[in-house]
Amino acid sequence: MQPFHIGDYTVRYPLIQGGMGVRISGGSLAGHVARCGGIGIVAAAGIAMNSSHYTGTNYMQAEPEAMKEELRKAYAIAPDGIIGVNIMVALSDYETLVEASIEGGAKVIICGAGLPMSLPALTAHAPHVALVPIVSSLRAAQLIVKKWQKGYNRLPDAVLVEDPDTAGGHLGEKMENIGTGDYDHYGTVRAIKDFMRNEYGCDVPVIAAGGIWDRADVMHALAQGADAVQMASRFVATEECDAAESFKQAYLDCRQEDIGLVMSPAGLPGRAIVRNHTAIVNFDQANGTVCSTGCLKKCTFKETGERFCIVRALDRAQRGDVETGLIFCGTNAYKAERITTVQEIFNELFAEAAAEEAEEAA
């Protein structure tokens, strides 16, 4: 397995742990993944929730402090690790969180849920930070790359291609286009790779995300043209994941048919455990909840009270209320069988398999 190069950094294994919002991937998970030789990612979405900085009324002030605190935790675990952040463009405090991440020492910034058109301008004073847009189509990649090159003379340090048919959380595709069988994930990976080569003459790493669970999946992604993989759901059922034990248990308990799509108040479909969908929606109606954070730029709950408050639903799940909390997950989450450690996952993906192959070859 070759080391993975991204911007100024070399990572031992071509594995990025996917950012998982509202404190599912905080400093603990990100730090341990980085210590094992992957890229550890702290998710910015709702980072203030359940943090010591949030009093219940100061969400926007608490967010950057909470982000820096999680980065400190991660670096305490992996002082020399490659640690980055995932920041959704759809967040109201997207720009503040980009700056807080730089101040906290993030080496990689990954942005999806919208096109991060101005990211090079926001990070111009920190050129060593690797910039990675998340896309699901060649067209989205082209729009971003053209804008970055023309506007800022900067190309992405990698492009992350997320498969809407398998990934967890918010998805970059319309509800009606998901699961139709039309989407060609690795075709998109290769098309973006070719576009960068043909238009810009450079070999920009392309990272595949969505539905990657075991070593066979990793090897398949690399054989299909990806330079690295991003895995999120696989890291939930670990001791080091920042979620409550009952959130992890929900992964162990869920069946394939429990995983489906919900329409998020952010206007994007999301993949989650859907068994308790009615309880999620009813919670806010029953409690007369109103928007108190303004966490998203666009949100039907904020604007009209329609659907449910997503940051609170995700926060409840993170704290262990799996009855009324929203549990995001990818299509493979049902494969989780026991709580393991991050190191065990790395051993299975890279070390043990490599040792076995070496033995067979000898």
Ligand X SMILES: Cc1cc2nc3c(=O)[nH]c(=O)nc-3n(C[C@H](O)[C@H](O)[C@H](O)COP(=O)(O)O)c2cc1C
User: Binding residues for ligand X, per CB under 6 A?
Assistant: 18-21, 24, 43, 45, 86, 88, 112-113, 134, 162, 166-169, 209-212, 230-234, 328-330, 332
User: Quick one: 45 or 83, whose CB is closer to ligand X?
Assistant: 45
The least distance separating ligand X from the CB of residue 220, rounded to whole angstroms, comes to 14
3-state secondary structure of 280: helix
CA–CA distance, 346 with 228 (Å, rounded to integer): 14
User: Quick one: 25 or 123, whose CB is closer to ligand X?
Assistant: 25
Q: Are strands 269-273 and 169-170 parallel, antiparallel or unpaired?
A: antiparallel
- Is residue 335 within 8 A of residue 259, CB to CB? The reply is no
Q: Helices 310-319 and 245-253 sit at what angle, rounded to 10 degrees?
A: 90
User: Quick one: 78 or 209, whose CB is closer to ligand X?
Assistant: 209
- Is residue 156 within 8 A of residue 35, CB to CB? The reply is no
Locus of tokens 């690790």: 81
The least distance separating ligand X from the CB of residue 280, rounded to whole angstroms, comes to 14
CA–CA distance, 235 with 33 (Å, rounded to integer): 9
User: Quick one: 7 or 18, whose CB is closer to ligand X?
Assistant: 18
3-state secondary structure of 82: strand
The least distance separating ligand X from the CB of residue 55, rounded to whole angstroms, comes to 23
The least distance separating ligand X from the CB of residue 153, rounded to whole angstroms, comes to 26
CB atoms near residue 49 (< 10 Å) = 23
- Is residue 17 within 8 A of residue 230, CB to CB? The reply is yes
User: Quick one: 138 or 313, whose CB is closer to ligand X?
Assistant: 313
User: Quick one: 19 or 325, whose CB is closer to ligand X?
Assistant: 19
The least distance separating ligand X from the CB of residue 314, rounded to whole angstroms, comes to 8
Could you please report the per-residue DSSP string of 134-191? EESSHHHHHHHHHHHHHHHS---S-EEEE-TTT--EE-SS-GGGTTSS---HHHHHHH
User: Quick one: 107 or 248, whose CB is closer to ligand X?
Assistant: 248
CA–CA distance, 175 with 73 (Å, rounded to integer): 37
The least distance separating ligand X from the CB of residue 329, rounded to whole angstroms, comes to 5
Token pair belonging to 84: 């980055």
CA–CA distance, 84 with 253 (Å, rounded to integer): 30
Sheet-wide strand order for 269-273: 169-170, 269-273, 259-263
User: Quick one: 179 or 305, whose CB is closer to ligand X?
Assistant: 179
The least distance separating ligand X from the CB of residue 149, rounded to whole angstroms, comes to 23
- Is residue 241 within 8 A of residue 343, CB to CB? The reply is no
User: Quick one: 7 or 26, whose CB is closer to ligand X?
Assistant: 26
CA–CA distance, 36 with 34 (Å, rounded to integer): 5
The least distance separating ligand X from the CB of residue 90, rounded to whole angstroms, comes to 9
Q: What is the DSSP letter of 14?
A: S
The least distance separating ligand X from the CB of residue 2, rounded to whole angstroms, comes to 21
CA–CA distance, 286 with 57 (Å, rounded to integer): 21
